[in-house]
A and B are shown apart, each in its own frame.
Chain A
């Protein structure tokens, strides 16, 4: 019986990324249904195993640490070898940028289907049944994985972090033989101020064409800063097409699908392609001067009015609240 679950952790610069806690929590849920154990695959730089040991708090029984180059194809080989060595009913990734790069390579090595961006999970008759958005969230598909292990990546901020504390054993696994893969990572150029990806943020402050000018973004940046370090900026496509903001910030059907606990749509009209990317957010706030803007149709709370005045007043009010 393939009862164990392999949770693939993301370790960056010696730190486990917070999304990995969700991955382990989701893996624990599956393992409890299958009556198996949770192993963590920590494939990363020196010390990745020790960094991942804390995942015991969320239900990891064992951490399998492979010290390898950060390069995605090398990590894929390492994770696929770990997956093959165990008897896993499921392998769980995070549907983050790195997770989306890694998971399909592992799936191909295991000759297995892969379900991306899962938002709900069931175990039925020993098989994984996952729910995932299709048509950018205009519908949800319930999909059964016929084989084992079932490979899936979970959408950040949906499953949440659960405590299921235990002492995770850390076992070092020797890395796969080095091979020339024809893939070399060169430099990295940071773009200004985009430390937290919009798809992973708990709070998203999104700006639309009604912001009028890229020069006005400092107003939204200030609101983001007021909301704390789990907040990130988003944008409508109109703004990205105009070259005001990078595509990495675009929310919607041809951008990112986000599920923050709070989404603020600032001067965004609410076109169908935009709604597709954010309608599953926890709480939606819309600020728009047009009371008939479609965005109000999905917003929990709306303010009709000028975005500039409202955004500044909101930043001030949030700061006051945080300081009190």
Chain B
């Protein structure tokens, strides 16, 4: 069973975000880029599913700047077999990204296309289901665990108040969230082998964006808070403030 995992290169979550002088992007110096954390769950899910099937290949697919090649190597080091990089500059328009990815996936007969539930930069939670629509395949989102048998993927979705079980006929698409899959660490051997695994780079097709980012700003500073006091003695005053000053009780 072959699986493609679509992954994105994003700033490390510990990065302080500084807005660039043009006010529309972020400053690049000092920003460490990583594989988006939720994509790590998707890669782990793919590796486990292929291991369970006893055969098959995991392909990583990304749309991003040339430096994304490094990020893909880090995914290959985890055990993925090959990678494809569509070079270009994705913007916030997930629909444009979905069209780019689908152009590559249309020619693939992989049983599954997996995504992380969201990329932690734009945080839109949309490219996976959009790609599924473009490919005309069923899609389960927020999948915490998945099993494949007899051409059917049984997914446990993390939904409000519990888990929903969904069955999909393959080929299918899913977005993966935290659950069964604990991302593995790359072994030294994995890192060495990754250098020799195939990584194809080609320019992404031109797709027009339907969105314009006009400005990035910092969130408003929170007004200075105060320490109400120490221990249980401060509770009465806290409740009074929440009621009379903040008016939330």
State the A residues within 8 Å of B (CB): 73, 96-98, 100-101, 103-105, 107-109, 111-117, 129, 133-147, 181-191, 194-195, 197, 200, 203, 240, 247-248, 250, 253-254, 257, 261-262, 272-273, 276, 279-280, 282-285, 291, 296-306, 309-310, 313-314, 317-318, 321
Contacts and interface: CB of A to CB of B under 8 A. Distances in A.
Interface in B144-185: 144, 154, 158-169, 172, 177-179
Nearest to B140: A183
B123 interface: yes
A300 B234 contact: no
Interface core residue of A140, A261, A296 (most chain B CB under 10 Å): A140
Given A183-B139, A183-B140, A254 B178 contact: yes
A227 B236 CA distance: 15
A145 B210 contact: yes
A303 B98 contact: no
A306 B140 CA distance: 43
B138 A143 contact: no
B160 A97 contact: yes
Given A141-B92, A183-B140, A301 B228 contact: yes
Q: B interface, by DSSP: helix, strand, loop or mixed?
A: mixed
Contact of A73 (B134, B138, B178): B138
Contacts of B179: 247
Interface of B: 11, 13-17, 19, 26, 37-38, 92-96, 98, 120-130, 132-134, 137-142, 144, 154, 158-169, 172, 177-179, 209-219, 222-223, 225-232, 234-236, 238-239, 241-243, 246, 248-249
Given A254-B120, A279-B219, A310-B232, A96 B94 contact: no
Contact of A302 (B214, B227, B235): B227
B240 to A, nearest CB: 9
Contacts of A139: 17, 19, 26, 216-219
B219 A301 contact: no
A203 B246 CA distance: 13
A314 B228 CA distance: 13
A253 B120 contact: yes
Contact of B235 (A143, A145, A303): A303
Given A297-B225, A317-B238, 17 more contacts: A100-B126, A105-B129, A105-B132, A113-B94, A113-B211, A134-B216, A139-B216, A139-B217, A140-B219, A183-B167, A195-B161, A253-B120, A282-B246, A283-B242, A303-B227, A305-B231, A317-B239
Nearest to A228: B249
A187 B14 contact: no
Contact of B225 (A107, A203, A272, A298): A298
A303 B138 contact: no
A116 B123 contact: yes
A305 B228 CA distance: 11
A197 B227 contact: no
Contacts of A135: 11, 15, 17, 26, 120-121, 123
B124 A114 contact: yes
Contacts of B226: 300-302
5 contacts: A100-B141, A138-B219, A145-B210, A301-B225, A318-B239
Given A116-B123, A139-B219, A143-B212, A108 B161 contact: no
Contacts of A197: 160-161
B79 to A, nearest CB: 22
A285 B238 contact: yes
A143 B92 contact: yes
B212 A284 contact: no
Given A280-B219, A298-B222, A314-B239, A188 B212 contact: no
